């Protein structure tokens, strides 16, 4: 079963395992809030959307005192002691308002592409970098792929793309979920998120020069026991990942963080979906481990690993 319904401002996709709604207007990018629904159990995401995309950043403190948009705020419970600078804005999910899209339907999958050019930049950079996102919904499985790619118009020493992975978690003192699993940390009970805390005080992941984790999985267990997971198939791409409380559990994830020249691209493939247990997540991850690009035609989709 594969159906597509195009409505004003959204596209609804249904496979034999789940339903999903992609918003093309309003709060855009990724899969819309609470619209990713497992047909067998009724499980659904708990946040503001899955694989939601923000803006381009670089690490460091803004010392110039000169900027077109406001400086990046840090040093508080929201952003912690993690200084960064904006490279290009706006935040796509809240400010783009409407995105163009393209749909490809194959024999056993549906894919949808959206894109956006950032139109504001922090000096000395210029605007115009291109973000593209393919969402690929295969039939017969409880998950989908998200392939995000940025083609930069700037040369940047450490370019970072910020997104939510898999999603933030809305709750009141941990009432909507049982626990969180981070492959680079372990299990965290819902009660640990009753009080706000900054992202750099607990559960922060930052890439080191030594090695990346074998797997990069971030998941939360719903009250019915089912898990919703987001997996970055090439762990070395993840620059930084947060899991902290700020009236909701904030699951920001940043990719890149290496030098890029004008005209070059960085990309990431995430797998997002429902799973019965962590073992099933690991088995699925291992099947696609290392993949960081998707090629899509009407005849099918193809994952591949591009050397950085």
Domain limits of the chain? 3-304
Whole-structure pTM value: 0.96
Q: Residue 71: what pLDDT?
A: 82
**Torsions phi, psi of 37, nearest 5?**
-125, 125
Instruction: Name the residue with tokens 């803004």.
Output: 62
Average pLDDT over residues 274-302: 96
pLDDT at 112 over 90: yes
The CATH number of the domain covering residues in 3-304: 2.70.98.10
Weakest-pLDDT range from 35-44, 55-64, 169-178: 55-64
Paired tokens of 255: 């990719």
Q: Express each pLDDT in 178-212 by its tens digit.
A: 999 999 999 999 999 999 999 999 999 999 987 78
Percent residues over pLDDT 90 in the chain: 90
User: CA-CA distances (angstroms) from residue 170 to 20, 116, 133, 203?
Assistant: 19, 27, 25, 18
Quick one: DSSP state of residue 41? T
Instruction: Scan for tokens 């790619």, then name that residue.
Output: 149
pLDDT at residue 139, as a whole number:
97
What is the band of 64 on the pLDDT scale with cuts at 50, 70, 90? low
Residues 216-239 have a mean pLDDT of 98
Higher pLDDT, 211 or 65: 211
User: Strand pairing partners for 53?
Assistant: 163
| pLDDT(65) > 70 | no
Tokens of residue 120, six digits: 């504001």
């Amino acid at each position: 079963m594969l159906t597509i319904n195009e409505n004003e401002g959204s596209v609804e996709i249904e496979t034999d395992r789940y339903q999903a709604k992609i918003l093309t207007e309003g709060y855009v990018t990724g899969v819309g809030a609470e619209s990713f629904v497992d047909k067998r159990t009724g499980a659904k995401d708990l946040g503001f959307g899955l694989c939601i995309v923000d803006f381009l950043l670089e690490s460091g403190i803004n010392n110039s005192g000169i900027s077109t948009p406001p400086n990046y705020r840090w040093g508080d419970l929201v952003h912690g002691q993690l200084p960064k600078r904006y490279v290009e804005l706006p935040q796509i999910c809240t400010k783009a308002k409407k995105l163009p899209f393209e749909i490809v339907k194959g024999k056993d999958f549906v894919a949808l592409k959206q894109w956006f050019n950032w139109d504001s930049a922090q000096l000395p950079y210029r605007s115009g970098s291109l973000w593209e996102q393919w969402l690929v919904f295969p039939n017969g499985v409880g998950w989908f792929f998200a392939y995000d790619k940025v083609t930069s118009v700037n040369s940047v020493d450490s370019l970072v793309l910020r997104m939510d992975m898999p999603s933030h978690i809305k709750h009141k003192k941990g009432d909507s979920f049982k626990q969180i699993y981070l492959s680079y940390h372990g299990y965290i009970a819902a009660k640990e998120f009753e009080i706000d805390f900054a992202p750099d005080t607990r559960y922060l992941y930052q890439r080191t020069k030594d090695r990346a984790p074998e797997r990069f999985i971030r998941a939360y267990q719903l009250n019915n026991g089912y898990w919703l997971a987001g997996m970055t198939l090439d762990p070395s791409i993840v620059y930084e990942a947060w899991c902290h409380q700020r009236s909701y559990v904030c699951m920001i994830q940043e990719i890149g963080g290496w030098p890029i020249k004008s005209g070059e691209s960085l990309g990431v493939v995430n797998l997002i979906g429902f799973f019965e247990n962590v073992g099933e997540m690991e088995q699925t991850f291992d099947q696609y481990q290392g993949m960081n690009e998707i090629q899509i035609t009407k005849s099918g989709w193809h994952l591949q690993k591009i050397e950085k």
